[in-house]
Amino acid sequence: MFLPGIPALLWLWPNVEGTAWYMPVQVAVYLYFLAGCLIIGLRRWNLSQLGLNRKGLGLSLACGLVLLVGRTLVILAIDWPIGPTPLTLGGLAGDIVFLFGLVGLIEELLFRGVIYRALDEWHGTRLAIWGSSLAFGLYHMGQGPLVVLAGFIIGLIFGAIRWRAGGIVGLILVHGLIDVTAKAMLPTMSIQELGRPQVGHPILVVLGYGLIVAVPLYLWRLHPSIERMRAREPGDSLADRG
């Protein structure tokens, strides 16, 4: 069912970029992915099992805030060849609706929801984290190898948060917030157009990447047992209460 998304990612989106069709095409493809997630996912699991629950919301948001600060420091450390697009209230509102309501929600439901859950049941948590991260990286194939690598690394961190938190609601919010801030701070979201920017403040780069690396290390080694955390939570589903 997801096969039509491949030419959309590799051919359709790049060829309509910069035209009036770009946003309608993106919306249509994301809605198609949402339909696929629900049709496939709800045949076997309920929404809570796919991660749409309250579990680990605080943990997800805390880790996401650290990631956001780390990425922001890296962006601020670089002397970009051109400045960001000036913000307008209408443009910011449109970005928030699109990046939270479609990109954040649907990508998390697909990769940390359906794909993660299927791989976890098939062969355990390790495959769920690595497999969903690889899929997330390949999903960005049309944007070049650097974006694929970055998507894979972010996928690993998000997969670790999904493992420890037990839900994806926090990840949806974090995903949308990271994308909105990047859109506001970067001159373009295209790596090819950015060229070879120069690092103006190496200290900020070190601090930023240090914070980013600290998140998976904390989740892997330092965070207390998720079972103890879940035992203290009511753990209601957002869809299956009562």
Tens digits of per-residue pLDDT, 169-180? 999 999 999 999
**Higher local confidence (pLDDT), 13 or 20:** 20
Q: Residue 34 — pLDDT band, cuts 50, 70, 90?
A: very high
pLDDT at 182 over 50: yes
pLDDT at 242 over 50: no
pLDDT at 79 over 50: yes
**pLDDT tens for residues 120-146?**
999 999 999 999 999 999 888 877 788
Which of the residue ranges 25-39, 112-126, 219-233 would you say has the lowest mean pLDDT? 219-233
Nearest to 64 by CA among 224, 217, 176, 171: 171
**pLDDT tens for residues 3-17?**
666 666 667 766 777
Q: Residue 18 — pLDDT band, cuts 50, 70, 90?
A: confident
Angle between helix axes 89-98 and 22-41 (nearest 10 degrees) is 30
Range 82-88 average pLDDT? 73
pLDDT at 237 over 50: no
Q: How far apart are alpha carbons 73 and 71 in whole angstroms?
A: 5
Q: Residue 108 — pLDDT band, cuts 50, 70, 90?
A: very high
- What local confidence, expressed as pLDDT, does residue 2 receive? 67
- What local confidence, expressed as pLDDT, does residue 10 receive? 67
Nearest to 106 by CA among 40, 32, 2: 32
Range 93-114 average pLDDT? 92
Query: Is 164 within 8 Å of 219 (Cβ atoms)?
Result: yes
Range 156-163 average pLDDT? 95
Q: Residue 236 — pLDDT band, cuts 50, 70, 90?
A: very low
pLDDT at 240 over 80: no
Sign of torsion over alpha carbons 72, 50, 122, 29: negative
- What local confidence, expressed as pLDDT, does residue 83 receive? 67
- What local confidence, expressed as pLDDT, does residue 143 receive? 74
- State both tokens at 125: 């948590």
**Higher local confidence (pLDDT), 138 or 86:** 138
Q: How far apart are alpha carbons 173 and 152 in whole angstroms?
A: 19
Which of the residue ranges 27-41, 48-62, 77-91, 150-164 would you say has the lowest mean pLDDT? 77-91
53: enclosing H helix or E strand: none
- State both tokens at 232: 């203290």
Mean pLDDT of the chain: 84
